Amino acid sequence: MKTGGEMLYDGRCHCGRVRFRVEAEIDHVRVCDCSICHMRGALIFRVPEGALELMTPLEDMVLYEWGSRTAKDYLCPTCGILPFRRPSAPTRVELEQGVQPFDGWAINTRCLVGFDPSSVPVRQIRGRLIQRD
């Protein structure tokens, strides 16, 4: 379903316990090479706060935090899939380089029903190069 230039996507984890809806015009996906993203293999697209509608409360999910503890990874407690996350806050070095804080969600596009991540360009994110404060 279209709303303006954006599409409304239903999303879910592998087992279907975690469900959500997101409104977005997905024109790329992001692949980060940091240790956790590399192993996870998610194809991410960032959306503003109000673009994500949760059908499953966050309290019903497993929260994983690591490193600076500013990122919040929400996982299904049954199948372990990460359907979305809160991105980490920029480090002091990133802020000095002009990186702007992002107050929204990072959606794993592999969890979106009817979306083909191979239909859009891939942006490489060099997470391994980020210097922590």
Instruction: Note the pLDDT of residue 129.
Output: 66
SS3 66: coil
Instruction: Note the pLDDT of residue 92.
Output: 78
For residue 84, which phi and psi values (nearest 5 degrees)?
Answer: -165, 165
Q: What is the distance between the alpha carbons of residues 107 and 46, in angstroms, rounded to a whole number?
A: 6
Domains belonging to the chain, first-starting first, are 2-128 (2.170.150.70)
pTM: 0.86
Instruction: Note the pLDDT of residue 133.
Output: 46
Asked whether the beta carbons of 26 and 114 are under 8 A apart, the reply is no
What six digits make up the tokens of 102? 């992002």
Tens-place pLDDT, residues 58-69: 999 999 998 777
| Dihedral angle sign, alpha carbons of residues 92, 42, 38, 30 | negative
Tens-place pLDDT, residues 87-112: 877 677 777 888 777 789 999 999 99
| Dihedral angle sign, alpha carbons of residues 22, 24, 26, 30 | negative
Instruction: Note the pLDDT of residue 55.
Output: 98
Q: What is the dihedral of CA 56, 58, 59, 62, to 10 degrees?
A: 100
Residues with pLDDT less than 70, the chain? 1-4, 90, 129-133
Asked whether the beta carbons of 121 and 65 are under 8 A apart, the reply is no
CA 61 to chain centre: 15
